[in-house]
Structure 1
Amino acid sequence: MYKIAVMGDADSVLGFQALGLEVCPVSSAEEGHLALHRMAKENYAIIYMTEQLAAKLGPDIARYKDALTPAIILIPGKEGSLGIGMANVKTAVERAVGADIS
């Protein structure tokens, strides 16, 4: 059975535990690197990650970009949005459609 997790700083992710998601609070890029690769091996289908953490893990996230699992979805952290998540959605739509639709 596939699992779903949320990664990022503790203040941003602990609330997701109430929804039944597994939370993975990380405080450094190294912790995030190790946790991401561990979850990829442990049958996680979806990993929600704060944009702030994603900004530090660019090469690690790129490794899973075309993989079936895990799907890494960026969400705003407690500091607000950096615009990375929306840019990724726009890029994915352009790849799927073949043109910029905005």
Structure 2
Amino acid sequence: MYKIAVVGDYDSIYGFATLGLDTFPVTAPKEAGEKLNQLAGNGYGIIYITEVLAAEIRQEIEKYQDQVMPAIILIPGVNGNTGEGIENVKKSVEQAVGSDILFSNN
């Protein structure tokens, strides 16, 4: 069974521990990139990461983009939603089904 991790600033991720997810608070982009690589190599199938932090380590995340695992999913932090997480999910769905499921012909 694969493990699930949440990476980001402490205030944004501490609540995920109550759901049984492994939380990894980080304070700097370099630390976040190292943690992401460590988790990817240690059996984590899903890694949630805050949008703001993901923007700072985009190159590290892109290394895993074409791999099946780990799935890296962006989530909003305590400071709000940047929209990047939703955009990434939208792109993944478009790639999987071949069309934009959110497009409307009104």
Deviations 1:44-100 (A, max 9, x none): 000011101111011111111111111001110000000001111111122122233
- Once the two structures are TM-superposed, the CA of residue 30 in structure 1 deviates from its matched residue by 0.4
1:33 aligns with 2:33: yes
TM-score (normalizing by structure 1): 0.95
Runs of 4+, deviation exceeding 3 Å: none
- The 5 Å alignment of 1:1-102 reads 1-101=1-101, 102=103
TM-score (normalizing by structure 2): 0.91
Q: How many Å separate the matches in 2 of 1:5 and 1:40? A: 10
Unmatched 5+ stretches in structure 1: none
Q: Secondary structure at the match of 1:72?
A: strand
Question: What is the aligned-residue RMSD (CA, Å)?
Answer: 1.0
Unmatched 5+ stretches in structure 2: none
